[in-house]
Amino acid sequence: MSQFLDYFEGRQIDWRDGRPVWWTLVPIRYQSDLLDATVAIPAELVSALASVPRLPLLWLAVGGRGIRSAVVHDFAYQFGYWLLNGDRLPVDRARADAVFYESLLADPLSGAGRARAYEMWAGVRVGGRGVWHDRAARSPVLNPEWTRDWGVIGA
């Protein structure tokens, strides 16, 4: 059964492009049925979380939902892989988005039922292409030490 094994703890550290920027304080692990594995996101990831466009109706519908799912998704979008038992699992955009959807449904704290999870998944499918292809530029800005030490796959 897919599930989060940890709670989100974070601190807002910045404000960029009209959105808050967060720093995770503890690791987050997500056990995924789709991957048949547990993804581990280390503490100290810098993330915009679920950065929903600030259109009023869209923000009211999905803003502030799926924080833990957003952390798992952002890690894949920044680095092109997930960490599984210390090893890197390269991930493509479609799989990252599918695990995002799965995790929204699996997380009782996400605030996203099936319809909202689908809307959020559709949003990353439509709006995420540019972000996915811009990893080489975004990762060093958000997580410079990790990018230097771990690298970015497929960027």
Q: Give pTM, 2 decimals.
A: 0.85
Look at residues 110, 109, 89 and name the one whose alpha carbon lies nearest to residue 154: 89
Here the contacts of 93-97 (C-beta below 8 Å, separation 24 or greater) are 93/128, 93/129, 93/132, 95/34, 95/35, 96/132, 97/73, 97/121, 97/124, 97/125, 97/128
* Mean pLDDT on 100-127: 87
* Mean pLDDT on 112-136: 81
Read off the pLDDT band of 150 (50, 70, 90): low
Give CA–CA dist 79/73, Å, rounded.
Answer: 10
